[in-house]
């Protein structure tokens, strides 16, 4: 076990013991804003002016499958918080989702406070969450039994699986611009069935986050969600995956972390379990590596 793993493993044990002694807020990855009747497209379009009026910029609009649509948003506050931490770019965006489940249309969004701690960001994203709630509403937080902030900071799914600070290095380049260009070129060519959803550069840093739609075999967004997103309220905000260019390197979170952080209560085996998508982490890595590297020379 690496020193980093050992450190966080010991911390996790201490936190579990500490939680029993005191009541800490338990955070969940998603917030259900509303449930209504109607058409997905009409509901999604009606959300756009509400989001922009609340100070959010819509940087991506993604339909991963017929029953879902995702609006990716950022804001000056999100980018400023991202700039304070290495790999803070992962938390520079939030996802607002519209999903049909039976006869109902669910509007939901990722919980900025949950993501703040999962991605070890400096600062407080509670005001961002409050503005999303004011713009969209809130019925309940959902997606897990809940993890404390301290548990999220040291989170991994189980022994031997990756932590946040153990990202997957996809490629090294001669400059940040070269890494970003290579990634954009790979997405424009549709390598591995991947497509661009959004790109957000973090001001005053050397980090850029790039959202990626995946459609190939076991890496496909539709496949993964059909196997594990089985709750009565859908966790569509898990999508899309992302690549972060930090300095001259391109990274992605390992699937065993990136999937688990949004589905921390997912069973290892049985129906709707990680075993059903055991091929996904390696396939995602292969696709993203092909996107970044492919036939593009080092730049």
Instruction: Please give the model's pTM, rounded to 2 decimal places.
Output: 0.90
Going residue by residue through the chain (299 aa), what tens digit of pLDDT does each one get? 444 444 444 444 444 444 444 568 999 999 999 999 999 999 999 999 999 999 999 999 999 999 999 999 999 999 999 999 999 999 999 999 999 999 999 999 999 999 999 999 998 999 999 999 999 999 999 999 999 999 999 999 998 899 999 999 999 999 999 999 999 999 999 999 999 999 999 999 999 999 999 999 999 999 999 999 999 999 999 999 999 999 999 999 999 999 999 999 999 999 989 999 999 999 999 999 999 987 544 44
Instruction: Determine the 3-state secondary structure of 119 from DSSP.
Output: coil
pLDDT of residue 216: 96
Number of helices (H) and strands (E) in the chain: give both, helices first.
10, 11
Q: Judge whether 253 and 163 are in contact, CB under 8 Å.
A: no
Task: Report the distance separating Cα 274 and Cα 136, nearest Å.
Answer: 32
Q: Going by DSSP bridges, is the β-strand pair 140-142/57-65 parallel, antiparallel, or unpaired?
A: unpaired
pLDDT of residue 4: 45
Does an H or E element contain 131, and which?
Answer: helix 126-136
- Print burial letters for 235-254: b (CB count within 10 Å at least 16), e (below 16): bbbbbbbbbbbbebbbbbbb
Q: List strands edge to edge, sheet with 57-65.
A: 57-65, 68-74, 94-101, 104-110, 30-36, 140-142
Nearest-Å Rg of the Cα atoms of the chain is 18
Q: Judge whether 171 and 186 are in contact, CB under 8 Å.
A: no
pLDDT of residue 159: 87
pLDDT of residue 95: 98
**Domains, the chain, ranges and CATH?**
3-292 (3.30.310.70)
């Amino acid at each position: 076990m690496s020193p980093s793993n050992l450190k966080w493993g010991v911390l996790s044990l201490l936190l579990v013991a500490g939680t029993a002694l005191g009541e800490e807020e338990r955070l969940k990855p998603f917030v259900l804003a509303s449930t209504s009747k109607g058409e997905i497209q009409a509901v999604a379009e009606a959300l756009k002016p509400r989001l922009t009026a609340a100070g959010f910029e819509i940087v991506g609009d993604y339909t991963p499958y017929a029953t879902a649509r995702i609006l990716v948003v950022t804001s000056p506050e999100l980018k400023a918080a991202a700039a304070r931490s290495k790999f803070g770019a992962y938390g520079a965006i939030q996802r607002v989702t519209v999903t049909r489940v039976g006869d109902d249309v669910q509007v939901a969004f990722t919980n900025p406070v949950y993501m703040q701690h999962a991605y070890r960001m400096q600062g407080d994203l509670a005001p961002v969450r409050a503005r999303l709630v004011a713009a969209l509403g809130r019925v309940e937080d959902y997606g897990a039994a809940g993890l404390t902030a301290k548990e999220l900071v040291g989170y991994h799914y189980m022994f031997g699986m990756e932590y946040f600070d153990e990202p997957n290095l996809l490629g090294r380049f001669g400059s940040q611009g070269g890494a970003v260009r290579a990634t954009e070129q790979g997405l424009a060519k549709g390598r591995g069935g991947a497509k661009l959803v959004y790109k957000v550069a973090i001001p005053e840093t050397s980090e850029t986050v790039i959202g990626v739609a995946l459609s190939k075999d076991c890496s496909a967004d539709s496949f993964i969600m059909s196997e594990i997103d089985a709750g009565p309220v859908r966790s569509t905000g898990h999508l899309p995956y992302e690549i972060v260019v930090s300095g001259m390197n391109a990274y992605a979170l390992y699937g065993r972390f990136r999937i688990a952080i949004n589905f921390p209560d997912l069973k290892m085996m049985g129906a709707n379990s990680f075993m059903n998508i055991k091929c996904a982490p390696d396939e995602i890595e292969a696709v993203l590596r092909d996107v970044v590297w492919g036939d593009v020379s080092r730049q």
